[in-house]
Amino acid sequence: MNLSRLFVEADLSAGVEVSLSETQAHYLRHVVRREEGARLSLFNGRDGEWSATLSLRGKRDAAARVGACLRAQEAEPDLWLCFAPIKRARIDFIAEKATELGVAVLQPVLTRHTAVERVNVERLRANAIEAAEQTERLTVPDVREPIDLGRLLDRWPPERRLLMCDETGGGPPIAEALAGLDDASRTSPWAIVIGPEGGFAQSELAALHRMSNVTAVGLGPRILRADTAALAALACWQALLGDWRKPTPRLVNDYRTSRTVT
């Protein structure tokens, strides 16, 4: 666990001083007990990752003095996760795990059988930021406002393929379906679409199957909860089409802040 890697909004470049939020200051002082001058690393989703040192000011404030650039900016694969909101612990879990598994966009989708209508987007964002800090991403997923499934499909970008986990069964196995794609489909932007615990309504299933660029898949003989299906589909997509096809970078130090591909 990397306890000193922080997401900030500010621009990052050598020599600047960046104010930390009250939550970050509290965390560094009182939870992980960092002292003046402690080593940090910072990222903002745009400028790569930078070393920094902690500067404690007054009782509550803290700032970070930015040093050298540790890693150049890089993007995650262009993968959305479109999921129906579920109850609190499980939706927090989706935000955390999907961030670790490298999604670019988290899109809550309201469906006819969605049990939970209100989504605390700010809380999801906080979960995504914390997970991005831990998982060594250089970006934080874009957590979007909830949208009705019909409206989402009406304005669907034509070049983005949908991987639809069809809980009614009959979908071809996910590995077979993804292996059978042509090169253009393999390298296009993607979205994984997961229904609510109650399943998609018949009309919603029909609308999804009518999309020109949909790949419906099955995830085996057991009934999966929505959060499990989301995770499992993300892992399979990354392994078969995403950046897990590249060798894993080797860790080069204890702080896991700097990596090199061997």
- Tokens representing 74 are 């890089």
Q: List all residues 6 or more positions away from 14 whose beta carbon is below 8 Å from its beta carbon.
A: 50, 66, 67, 68, 69
CA distance 194 to 246: 26
Among residue numbers 21 through 80, which ones bind a second copy (CB under 8 A)?
A: none
- Least distance (Å) from a second copy to the CB of residue 165? 10
- The radius of gyration computed from the CA coordinates of the chain, to the nearest angstrom, equals 20
Instruction: State which of residues 15, 58, 158, 221 lies at the interface with a second copy (CB under 8 A).
Output: 221
Residue 168 contacts a second copy per CB under 8 A: yes
Among residue numbers 134 through 153, which ones bind a second copy (CB under 8 A)?
A: 134-137
Among residue numbers 194 through 213, which ones bind a second copy (CB under 8 A)?
A: 197
CA distance 110 to 169: 22
Output phi, psi for 248, to 5 deg: -75, 135
Residue 246 contacts a second copy per CB under 8 A: yes
Residue 245 contacts a second copy per CB under 8 A: yes
- How far is the CA of 108 from the CAs of 84, 185, 196, in angstroms? 6, 24, 11
Q: Which residue has the tokens 């802040």?
A: 257
Q: Which residue, 58 or 220, has its beta carbon nearer to a second copy? A: 220
Instruction: State which of residues 37, 157, 173, 180 lies at the interface with a second copy (CB under 8 A).
Output: 173
CA distance 202 to 77: 31
Site string (89-118) toward a second copy, x via CB under 8 A: ----x---x--xxx----------------
Instruction: State which of residues 181, 243, 255, 258 lies at the interface with a second copy (CB under 8 A).
Output: 243
Taking a C-beta distance cutoff of 8 angstroms, is the pair 178, 236 a contact?
Answer: yes
Residue 166 contacts a second copy per CB under 8 A: yes
Residue 238 contacts a second copy per CB under 8 A: yes
CA distance 161 to 9: 31
Residue 27's nearest CA partner among 51, 7, 10, 48 is 7
Residue 126 contacts a second copy per CB under 8 A: no
Instruction: State which of residues 14, 75, 206, 223 lies at the interface with a second copy (CB under 8 A).
Output: 223
Residues that bind a second copy (CB under 8 A): 1-2, 93, 97, 100-102, 134-137, 166-176, 197, 218-225, 228, 231-236, 238-240, 242-251, 256, 259, 262
